[in-house]
Amino acid sequence: MDLQLADRVFIVTGGARGLGRASADALVAEGARVVLSGRSQESLDAAVATLNDAAGREAAVGVAVDNSERGAPARLLAAADSAWGRIDGALISVGGPPKGPVTTITDEQWTAAFESVFLGAVRLAREVGTSLPAGGALGLVLSSSVRSPLPEMAISNGLRPGLAMVAKTLADELGPRGVRVNGLLPGRIATERVAELDASTGDPEAARHRAEATIPLGRYGEPEEFGAVAAFVMSPAASFLTGVMLPVDGGLLRAL
């Protein structure tokens, strides 16, 4: 299938590693160009060099900026315009908040997470979304916690369902202009973040085995499997898909 991504330009936040990087790899492989953001310029430079080398063309640029910064949307949009003179969408990868139960998470942790995980994502979606032309697409990388709470992940369980509803609302608002908005709900994908969560139990191997036993496909997903889905959802090949929260979880979620 031709995803019709050649020469399209996408912002990918958290694009130097994990699910953001896997998505950038897939987009570039299909002919798109990407503006990667992240906190570490060194990591971004390495990711940009690898993507450009693999593509054999200038396919990526990097901008060191935190999602929670008020100026982040403007800086990322300016980078896309400076590099390629257009913007076709953004994949907003929402970082993982601290682990812990409701009974131990402090007000300060809730406030910090709200600024970075919730408000930062909303600001990016709003500012980029209203800048997109007809045919543009927004994607929010959320979590299976949108539909089912995760143990010891109180902040994720509290904030991500709200982000999903914001995305659904934004799909209604931007739809008449021909702009699509969707969410992606990864389950257990073999990223550094999931490895850290497994390690936090004290026995990462046992934690992984327990998690795999709850997944119908019997394994963790690979980042590139997630990236392929993200590239499709962002592409014109998915032109009638909007307002959807799509699990990418090997069947983990039991709800319809």
Helix (H) or strand (E) holding 28: helix 18-29
For the cut 90, the answer to whether the pLDDT of residue 228 exceeds it is yes
pLDDT of residue 122: 97
For the cut 80, the answer to whether the pLDDT of residue 95 exceeds it is no
Which strand ranges, in their side-by-side order, compose the sheet holding 180-186? 60-64, 33-38, 9-13, 89-93, 137-141, 180-186, 245-248
Outline where DSSP puts E strands in the chain: 9-13, 33-38, 60-64, 89-93, 137-141, 180-186, 245-248
pLDDT of residue 132: 98
Q: Which domains does the chain possess?
A: 9-245 (3.40.50.720)
pLDDT of residue 211: 94
Q: What is the mean pLDDT of the chain?
A: 95
Q: For 98-154, write each residue's pLDDT tens digit.
A: 899 999 999 999 999 999 899 999 999 999 999 999 999 999 999 999 999 999 999
Average pLDDT value for residue range 40-60? 96
pLDDT of residue 97: 85
Local confidence band at 256 (pLDDT 50, 70, 90 cut-offs) = confident
Local confidence band at 214 (pLDDT 50, 70, 90 cut-offs) = very high
30 token code pair: 């299909």
pTM: 0.95
Tokens 């929402």: give the residue: 94
Local confidence band at 225 (pLDDT 50, 70, 90 cut-offs) = very high
